[in-house]
Chain A
């Protein structure tokens, strides 16, 4: 569904953040983009969704294809219309608007009011916590509720593909599990394509079917989730275990 070919992204005309990366998200699948802070994961998402420009970034070369159509450098307005929705890192809700109004804004690209109302009812039913707080300004929600709202708002646009950036950010481990469970459930029931950016590699590999590991603007490793879980480099640097299954820190400590 989505193909990114040899993408280079430059910020403020000088800083090169992505140095020729290629990846692919098949329709209806969840693909994870993994890597440490500053590896360029969020930049890759913004380059696809058209949110790069307001950050001072630009695609220097390479191509983004959506179902075979070249969409390189398209604005967010056009990408949303094509069914690509970006849930940004830090959620970016409308803090002054109520939960319900936030959801309605998610349906900005939709014109059929009856269908919007139906979708709204459907997602409020799916997220009972949001239904309870439908008249509360989004700024007053807890971190977990905010993440649910960000996801629900994206779904209100009836997307064909969701770019999900760091859904675990700032959440307690228990909540992270809950959020990931919901993401998987939505992805499977809606048959949506997901491109997931996540620092929590272990969790990401549990719900994604394929993954790419980004290091310093280049793709270092790629493979199915099972392959990546067995990968020595990944185990050493991201999963915190070595081949023997012991913690790196433990091993380094004097016996």
Chain B
């Protein structure tokens, strides 16, 4: 029973990070109709930058964390200005190809600077468990969970209550209508990329804390896809809930499938099985919806 609960809690924690990164993916997709295939690489670079800042400057984690966020903003702006703005008006598919290219470049940078070997992250949150009554949870996991929840709540509030948030939702709802209201679309695209890069960076730092750093972190971009597809590419709430579902499934799969089947490494695959099954039944995902029928 403890084993089972442990897997569930692990799953929820990892899943909440998936949710956050998925939010970034959905955000860019909704605003610009582009699927960002460099999302995992953004996560990876965020983790490495944070580690580098801690090691080189010796600053406390919180400061390094904030500086990493600053770096992610600059990186997103650079990508948007130098690459994507020049692609305005190009077919979405061409821009998607470009994001794959950006991903490859980022991975090459990480391999070149830090190498391919796994690096442990300095201990920031103690791994020591806290007794929650039913089950003991590592403080690291608890902190990661709460931080990703806090970030998602923050962005949720941003979209719901601020004027810029409204403009972003409007642009996601109809780009052409937004343009006709005088909304400068390039500015909105830039903000979408910034938020997306920041949540990826946070995800990277948290994942790095839990699992250590390696270029493999970029694989998170692929792992987040089941969450996004499950939730429906256009639903932020859906992506959030699905992230947790995927995280739990992955952990349960990893925990039990090996004993059941005698095969290794089935954990990360389990969500994809579920993904395929769900797409059979509901092609728009669990929460995605078809366009509201226009009269």
Interface centre among B169, B174, B291 (most CB of A within 10 A): B174
Task: List residues of A (39-53) whose CB comes within 8 Å of B's CBs.
Answer: 49, 51, 53
Mark out the residues of chain B between 171 and 220 whose CB falls within 8 Å of any chain A CB in the assembled complex: 172-174, 176-184
How many residues of A are in contact with the other chain, CB < 8 A? 35
Interface residues of A (CB under 8 A from B): 49, 51, 53-54, 76-77, 79-81, 85-86, 88, 90, 92-97, 101, 104-106, 108-109, 137, 139-143, 146, 153, 157, 170
Contact B183 A108 (CB under 8 A): yes
A141 to B180, CA, bound (A): 20
- Complex contact B173–A96 (CB within 8 A): yes
- The interface of chain B, by Cβ under 8 A from chain A, is 89, 166-167, 169-170, 172-174, 176-184, 291-295
Chain A residue contacts of B179, Cβ below 8 A: 51, 54, 76-77
Q: Which residues of A contact B292 (CB under 8 A)?
A: 95-96, 137, 139-140
Give chain A residues whose Cβ lies under 8 Å from the Cβ of B182.
76-77, 79-81, 108-109, 157
Q: Among A80, A96, A142, which residue has its beta carbon within 8 angstroms of that of B169?
A: A96
Q: Which residue of A lies closest to B295 (CB)?
A: A143
Do A97 and B170 touch (CB < 8 A)?
A: yes
Is B170 a contact partner of A94 (Cβ separation < 8 A)? yes
Q: Are B176 and A94 in contact (CB under 8 A)?
A: no
Minimum CB–CB distance from B173 to chain A (whole Å) comes to 4
In the bound complex, residues from chain B placing their C-beta under 8 Å from that of A137 are 292
* Residue numbers in A under 8 Å from B181 (CB-CB): 80, 105-106, 108-109, 153, 157
Is the CB–CB distance between A101 and B174 below 8 Å? no
Q: With A and B bound together, what is the CA distance between A53 and B180 in angstroms?
A: 12
- Cα separation A4 to B67 with both chains bound (whole Å): 53
**Cα A146 to Cα B291 with chains together (Å):** 16
Are A97 and B176 neighbours in the complex by a CB distance under 8 Å? Answer: no
> Given A95-B173, A143-B295 in contact, is the A49-B180 Cβ separation under 8 Å?
yes
Closest to B181 in A: A108
CA distance A27 to B27 in the complex (A): 42
Interface pair B180/A92, CB less than 8 Å apart? yes
Distance (whole angstroms) from the CB of B196 to the closest CB of chain A:
19
Is there contact, CB below 8 Å, between A146 and B172?
no
Q: For residue B277, give the distance in angstroms from its CB to the closest CB of chain A.
A: 28
> Are A95 and B180 closer than 8 Å at their CB atoms?
no
A88 to chain B, nearest CB (A): 6
Do residues B295 and A170 form an inter-chain contact, with CB atoms below 8 A? yes
Contact call A105/B176, Cβ cutoff below 8 A: no
Residues of chain B with a CB closer than 8 A to A108's CB:
167, 181-183
Assembly CA distance A107 to B295 (angstroms): 24
Name 15 interchain pairs, CB-CB below 8 A, sorted by A. Answer: A49-B180, A51-B176, A76-B179, A76-B180, A77-B183, A88-B180, A94-B169, A96-B173, A105-B166, A105-B170, A105-B181, A108-B181, A108-B183, A140-B292, A157-B182
Contact B178 A105 (CB under 8 A): yes
Q: Are A94 and B184 in contact (CB under 8 A)?
A: no
Question: Closest Cβ of chain B: how far from A116's Cβ, in Å?
Answer: 10
* B137 CB, nearest partner CB in chain A, Å: 38
Contact of B166 among A54, A93, A101, A109 (CB under 8 A): A101
Which residues of chain B have C-beta atoms less than 8 A from A77's C-beta? 179, 182-184
In whole angstroms, what is the CA distance A97 to B173 when docked? 7
The CA of A73 and the CA of B292, in the complex, are separated in Å by 33
**From A153, which residue of chain B is reached at the shortest CB distance?**
B181
